[in-house]
């Protein structure tokens, strides 16, 4: 009985290693809620397969394979349908904009200042006064851009914003184009409406810019950001 468990454990280890390799590096480096659920179920099925002596072992390996297929299929579908991807993976949230705290977004994400301060300490940032932009990513981690990373360093005054109109005025009036964090405005052929509203730019402006750069439709663009008052479009190799 004992030797069977040892053999099963070794087989499950190598089998899951292969499955994760097929599922892709994203499973290891960037766990979203969707990824976490899949890995949690794989772990549970693996443990049941090792302990269970009544059900044939290959049924559990088959169950793990099915989970991997579900993950791979959904990943492909989510790549094609950004709206569905937002539902499964969530969207990043702008928590600090040009030194002003987005209280409305923090409440929406159930994110408090204790969470914020702890995350900043883990990134060796002593105070919120050092932070110019802070993004809460879909995997729960934060991306921080400090004042000293920009050319112009304005006086720091952390305030709370209460509505999107105030945020837009703060961002466009108090920050030069060269200092604005490069917000994504096109992802997978879709306009990021929240970001263009934040930047106070229109879809007409985006369409004008992409035509100037030799593109016909927004659908033709995989990734574009607003940088230095212009539109940066990431070129893609087409094999």
CATH number of residue 167's parent domain: 3.30.240.20
What percentage of the chain has pLDDT greater than the value 70? 77
Check whether residue 97 and residue 170 sit in a common domain: yes
Q: Are 60 and 49 in contact (CB under 8 A)?
A: yes
How does pLDDT run across 60-102, given as a tens digit for each residue?
889 989 988 888 888 778 777 767 776 766 778 888 888 888 8
- Domain boundary residue, one of 175, 202, 222: 175
Give the residue from 55, 87, 119 where a domain finishes. 87
> What's the pLDDT tens digit per position in 115-170?
887 888 888 887 777 888 888 887 778 888 888 877 654 444 434 444 444 444 44
Q: Are residues 168 and 192 in the same domain?
A: no
Say if residue 188 is in the same domain as residue 171: no
State residue 221's pLDDT score: 84
Residue 159's φ and ψ, nearest 5 degrees, are -130, 170
pTM of the model: 0.50
Residue 83 is part of which domain span? 2-87
Q: What is the pLDDT of residue 173?
A: 46
Residue 148 and residue 191 share a domain: no
| Average pLDDT of the chain, as a whole number | 76
Q: Are residues 204 and 129 in the same domain?
A: no
Q: Which of 124, 157, 175 is the last residue of a domain?
A: 175
Asked if 101 and 166 sit in the same domain, the reply is: yes
In tens, the pLDDT along 205-229 reads 998 888 888 888 888 887 788 877 8
For residues 97 and 81, state if they share a domain.
no
Question: H helices of 52-192, where?
Answer: 57-80, 82-89, 103-108, 113-122, 164-174
State residue 25's pLDDT score: 53
Same domain, 71 and 148: no
Number of domains, the chain: 3
């Amino acid at each position: 009985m004992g030797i069977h468990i040892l053999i099963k454990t070794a087989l499950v280890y190598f089998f899951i290693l292969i499955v994760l390799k097929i599922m892709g590096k994203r499973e290891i480096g960037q766990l979203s809620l969707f990824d976490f659920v899949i890995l949690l179920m794989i772990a549970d099925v693996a443990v049941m397969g090792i302990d269970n002596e009544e059900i044939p072992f290959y049924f559990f390996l088959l169950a793990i394979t099915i989970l991997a297929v579900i993950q791979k299929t959904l990943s492909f579908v989510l790549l094609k349908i950004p709206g569905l991807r937002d539902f499964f993976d969530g969207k990043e949230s702008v928590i600090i904009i040009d030194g002003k705290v987005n209280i409305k977004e923090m409440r929406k994400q159930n994110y408090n200042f204790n969470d914020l301060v702890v995350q900043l300490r883990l990134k060796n940032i002593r105070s919120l006064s050092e932070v110019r932009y802070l993004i809460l990513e879909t995997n729960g981690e934060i991306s921080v851009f400090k004042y000293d990373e920009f050319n112009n360093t304005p006086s720091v005054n952390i305030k709370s914003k209460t509505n999107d109109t105030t945020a837009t005025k703060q961002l466009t009036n108090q920050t030069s184009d060269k200092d604005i964090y490069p917000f994504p405005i096109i992802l997978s052929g879709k306009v990021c409406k929240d970001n263009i509203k934040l930047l106070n730019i229109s879809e007409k402006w985006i369409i004008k810019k992409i035509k100037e750069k030799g593109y016909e439709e927004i659908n033709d663009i995989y990734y574009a950001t607003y940088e230095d008052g212009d539109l940066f479009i990431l070129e893609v190799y087409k094999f």
